[in-house]
Chain A
Amino acid sequence: MNLTFPRIVGIVLSLSLFGCSGVWESNYAMFEYLLATPDDETLTNEELAQRPVPAMYIRRDDRGQFVLDFSGTIAGVDYWRAKGNGMVALHESRLVRALGFELSLQSVQGVGYRPLPVVTIATPVGSAFSWLSDWAVPEYQGQLSHSEITAKNPAELTLQGQVVRTMQLQETVTFADGSQFINQYWFDAQSGKLLRTIQKPAGFWHQLDMIFISRIELPSLAADALSTSGVTP
């Protein structure tokens, strides 16, 4: 793991805040630092293989990427946890929680009694979805978003030094404020697993780039270690 000097200083400073501010705020001090850092955190394949739980790279907007650990599937949702107690959670491929941000995403649900629409490798072009997002303050509750799958093409993705054949889907999202964004999904062409996604859950919020590095088939040494971890994201 690359721990550069600025990153170490930041972590130490963040830790020092634990004793002098409110618990909730201080819990997230390090997470805020990680979100803002310009440096990329990377794992070698060996480091990845030795981790006890699956890992994800996450990047907010154009800042540096850092590592989240898979913490469990709870109530049908996969939770990924960062140092500093920040969390993101996905229901299948859809980002549904982002906790510890300056404005946290609390819930994403289908409209009415319809289930939350998710994108899979089998989703055809032209599929249309709607969903509601709720944020930590009432001013942003009930944000209605509409989307449509507008492209689906084979693509190669280079992750952890491996070239992976994927199916890339583009989802054009129109948010409640009228702005648009193109969510992107890369699914492993063979397994159908989501390997990478870039999503923006609201027009006023950030885009998150999430790479599920533990789902990549690594050289045999790493793959053996992963298969014995007993945890599947």
Chain B
Amino acid sequence: MNSSRFAFGRLSLLTWVFATCLLSVSAAAVATDVPPAQGLQQRNQLLSQVASLSQLQFFWHYQGKWRGNADAPRLSEFLQSIPNAEQVYWPSAQLFQLDAPELASVETLRSEVAEQLRLLTLAHPDDPLLAAKLMQLRTQVQSWLLGKPLHEALEPGLAYNQAKYNPQLSAGRYVLQASARPKTLQVLGLGGVFELQFEPQQPAYEYQSSLLRQQALLPEQLQLLLPSGVVKTIPIADWNRSEQPLDITALVFVPIPDVYLTAETAQLNQQLLQLVAYRVKP
């Protein structure tokens, strides 16, 4: 394999050293807690870290550091430049673009969701626990770092060997979300995103008791958001439950039960699911 084809082939050593030194220190703060309503500011801060290095077309943030390529690579070239790639669990890896134009409309969606959560909180003055969880969810939504997900399968061998899985990436600023195989599921529900111990092959409905500790009341079905962008619905109520297990690669969305929703917040679940697809995990 000709390694000179990949990643940093056309990046001058001097520029690379400068960019790495400049950015690695400030990027270390990326994964730390963000105060409420700071998600957009966080993205802008991240982007500002590389704004001055306009001679590079393609930047990506991974493991606390920005890295750059002179030109936007093909997906296979990009994947082959990932450090410690053999430790990555590729089925759940995702790539997000932080400066995609469509994120402006996603920010509008975020504002709408936050407003609906505020209205829903006001609609339940006699249920302080529910109101607290709704406000907690609202705070999280406002702090999410949002990016445009690339819905291609991030499987290095597939990208390298098959043209249809190897798109040309566009110039821009990206975040690679990739880690070792997770032991826990990411769940979004009342109160925001939390983690749940993953039990392989266990039907989804058997997670009900664990979910109830967080949610108080469960909907009739869960929705699974896969890295590909596909949404799967799994019924879990006593009268409709299926034997389907949860998926370790998915984000599990626990919709807010209909009994809590009002006429003006009827679209909240759908909008939350749309919005969380853009969430970059801290």
Cβ–Cβ contact B244 & A138, under 8 A? yes
Chain A interface size, as a band, is 20 to 34
Which of A56-64, A106-114, A120-128, A148-156 lies at the interface?
A106-114
Contacts of B157 in A (CB 8 A): 71, 74-75, 77, 79, 87, 89, 97, 99
Counting CB contacts under 8 A, is B151 at the interface? no
Task: State the interface size on chain B (CB cutoff 8 A).
Answer: 31
- Is A139 interfacial (CB-CB < 8 Å)? yes
Cβ of A75 and Cβ of B85 under 8 Å apart?
yes
Query: How many A-B contacts are there with CB distance less than 8 Å?
Result: 83
Chain B residues near A134 (CB-CB < 8 A): 91, 181, 248
B183 touches A79 (CB 8 A): no
Asked if A142 contacts B248 (CB within 8 A), the reply is: yes
Is the beta-carbon distance between B162 and A85 smaller than 8 angstroms? Answer: yes
Question: When each residue 65-105 of chain A gets 1 if its CB lies under 8 Å from chain B and 0 otherwise, what string results?
Answer: 00000011111110101000101010100000101000000
User: Closest CB-CB distance, B235 to chain A, in whole Å?
Assistant: 15
Which of B82, B87, B88, B246 has most A Cβ within 10 Å?
Answer: B87
Chain A residues with CB under 8 A of B1: 72-73, 231
Which of A74, A106, A109 interacts with B160 by CB under 8 Å? A74
Interface of chain A, main secondary structure: strand
B89 within 8 A of A: yes
- Whether A112 and B91, one on each chain, are in contact in the complex, defined by CB atoms closer than 8 angstroms, is no
How distant is the Cα of A73 from the Cα of B1 in the complex, in angstroms?
Answer: 8
With an 8 A cutoff between CB atoms, is B101 at the interface?
Answer: no
Q: Report yes or no: A77 in contact with B86, Cβ–Cβ below 8 A.
A: yes
CA distance A76 to B90 in the complex (A): 13
What is the bound-complex CA distance between A193 and B246, given in angstroms? 40
Tell me whether A199 is interfacial, beta carbon within 8 Å.
no
Closest Cβ neighbor of A115 among chain B residues? B87
Task: Report the minimal beta-carbon distance from A141 to chain B, rounded to whole angstroms.
Answer: 5
Interface 0/1 of A21-56, CB less than 8 Å to B: 001000100000000000000000000000000000
Cβ contacts under 8 Å, B87 to chain A: 115
B213 within 8 A of A: no
Q: A87-B161, A134-B248 are in contact. Are A76 and B86 (CB under 8 A)?
A: yes
Measured CA separation A106–B88 after assembly (Å): 12
Interfacial chain A residues near B58, Cβ < 8 Å:
none
* Contact of B89 (CB < 8 Å), options: A72, A109, A115: A109
Q: From B2, which residue of chain A is reached at the shortest CB distance?
A: A230
What is the bound-complex CA distance between A27 and B162, given in angstroms? Answer: 10
Q: How far is the CA of A41 from the CA of B243 in the complex (A)?
A: 43
Chain B contacts to A: CB under 8 angstroms: 1, 76, 79-80, 82, 85-91, 155-158, 160-162, 164, 180-181, 183, 198, 200-201, 244-248
Closest 3 CB pairs of A and B: A76-B86, A142-B200, A75-B85
